[in-house]
């Protein structure tokens, strides 16, 4: 465990709350340690190792990386005490006590074992990314608590969720919401720079230009670039590779459709400066060591088609530059209105 992370400031409150009630809403910023530390706190201090902690992740890459990280922190082999299960991959065993899984896996498990035998706590991580499957899973777990598993602990965690509505939903009555805890986190100074006003160049070229400027300024550290989709990721990597840059780079794409081995490249060490070009998969849950610069296109691919990222995702992207020391964040978001705030947002419609 890493007790230096900010989430440990409320470790006692988490354990005390779950000792007397079975539901909790936890708000903690990106980088506070909620995804890696809270499952361990619950296993060791609430369940006392007697039953399993299941942690629901909205993305496979997050489940895989968190399983590996927590296994390393507990000096365990992946698949023994700590493991993960996603589609087509199962690194768990009979002795697994902390298990990171995706929504589809949990729903299948509820079909096969409606009582979730052997499970002492279910954690819904990054619940701001909620969708139909996560909402269904939450409703089923809540119903299970009410109808036969009053001992089952249910925790909803997020960096940016509005805690009031979900606390009321999980409460015993409308006027009796469940307990909400918040971790303040720890941030460091971030220099925010905005791209050229009314720049009509493709965002892939703007990102490559921002990378070149960072290199020519001799600013140390790896770079994380947010793009809306695979096409823009490929275009950004191509634009960077075509430039005459002062040092060799490790250009790494990161998105949910990559094979596991290719996703792992983003988290592995390198003797070159890493440039990780990612979709919003890198906004939450996954932390890439060594990142000191974040370049935000200000866009995300959702339905309807790509649009400017709203304030909450922009704030989470900024937090990728605030957690581990002084950083720089650059926004190249297109638009007609620029405003400076706690996140690199450059369009009034955000």
Residues 107-132 have pLDDT tens digits of 999 999 999 999 999 999 989 888 88
Q: Do residue 164 and residue 216 come from a single domain?
A: no
Residues 6+ apart with CB under 8 A from 81: 71, 74, 95, 96, 97, 98
Domain C-terminal end among 182, 198, 223? 182
CB 308 within 8 A of CB 350: yes
Label each residue of 296-349 as H, E or C.
ECCEECCCCCCEECCHHHHHHHHHCCCCCCCEEEEECCCCCCCCCCCCCCCCCC
Domain count, the chain: 2
Strand spans (E) along 94-160: 98-102, 119-124, 153-158
Instruction: Identify the band that residue 343 occupies on the pLDDT scale cut at 50, 70 and 90.
Output: very low
CB 314 within 8 A of CB 339: no
User: pTM of the predicted model, to two decimals?
Assistant: 0.77
**Is residue 86 included in any domain, yes or no?**
yes
| Domain-ending residue, one of 182, 200, 230 | 182
Going by C-beta distance under 8 Å and a sequence separation of 6 or more, which residues neighbour residue 114?
A: 144
Residue 343 forms part of a structural domain: no
Q: Are residues 166 and 237 in the same domain?
A: no
- Residue whose pair of structure tokens reads 């990314």 in the numeric block: 129
212-261 pLDDT per residue, tens: 999 999 888 999 999 999 999 999 999 999 999 999 999 999 988 888 88
Burial class (CB in 10 A: 0-12, 13-18, 19+), 137: buried
- Which CATH number covers residue 36? 3.40.50.300
Co-location of 169 and 202 in the same domain: no
Q: Write down the H helix ranges in 3-77.
A: 11-20, 34-41, 60-73
Looking at the structure, tell me whether residues 167 and 259 fall in a common domain.
no
Which domain range does residue 216 map to? 190-331
The last residue of one of the domains, among 182, 212, 243, is: 182
Specify whether 275 is located in the same domain as 326.
yes
Mark whether 199 and 140 lie in a shared domain: no
Same-domain status, 170 and 197: no
Domain contains 337: no
């Amino acid at each position: 465990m890493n007790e230096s992370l900010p989430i440990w400031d409320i470790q006692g409150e988490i354990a005390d709350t779950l000792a007397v009630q079975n539901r909790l809403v936890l708000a903690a910023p990106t980088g506070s340690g909620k995804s890696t530390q809270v499952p361990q706190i619950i296993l060791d201090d609430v369940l006392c190792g007697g039953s399993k902690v299941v942690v629901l992740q909205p993305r496979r890459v997050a489940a895989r990386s968190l399983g590996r990280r927590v296994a390393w922190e507990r000096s365990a082999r992946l698949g023994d005490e700590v493991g993960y299960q996603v589609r087509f991959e199962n690194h768990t065993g009979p002795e697994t006590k902390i298990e990171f899984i995706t929504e589809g896996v949990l729903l299948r498990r509820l079909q096969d074992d409606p009582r979730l035998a052997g499970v002492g706590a279910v954690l819904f991580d990054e619940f701001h990314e909620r969708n139909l499957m996560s909402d269904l899973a939450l409703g089923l777990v809540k119903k299970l608590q009410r109808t036969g598993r009053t001992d089952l602990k249910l925790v909803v965690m997020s960096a940016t969720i509005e805690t009031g509505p979900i606390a009321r939903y999980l409460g015993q009555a409308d006027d009796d919401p469940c307990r909400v805890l918040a971790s303040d986190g720890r941030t460091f100074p971030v220099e925010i720079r905005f791209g050229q006003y009314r720049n009509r160049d493709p965002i892939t070229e703007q990102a490559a230009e921002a990378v070149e400027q960072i290199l020519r300024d001799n600013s140390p550290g790896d770079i994380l670039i947010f793009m809306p989709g695979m096409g823009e990721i490929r275009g950004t990597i191509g634009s960077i590779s075509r430039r005459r840059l002062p040092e060799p780079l490790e250009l790494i794409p990161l998105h949910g459709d990559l094979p596991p081995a290719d996703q792992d490249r983003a988290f592995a060490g390198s003797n070159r400066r890493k440039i990780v070009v990612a979709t919003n998969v890198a906004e939450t849950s996954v932390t890439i060591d060594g990142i000191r610069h974040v370049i935000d296109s200000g866009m995300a691919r959702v339905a309807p088609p790509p649009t400017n990222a709203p304030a909450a995702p922009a704030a989470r992207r900024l937090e990728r530059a605030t957690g581990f020391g002084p950083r720089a964040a650059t926004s190249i978001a297109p638009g007609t209105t620029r405003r400076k705030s706690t996140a690199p947002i450059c369009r009034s419609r955000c």
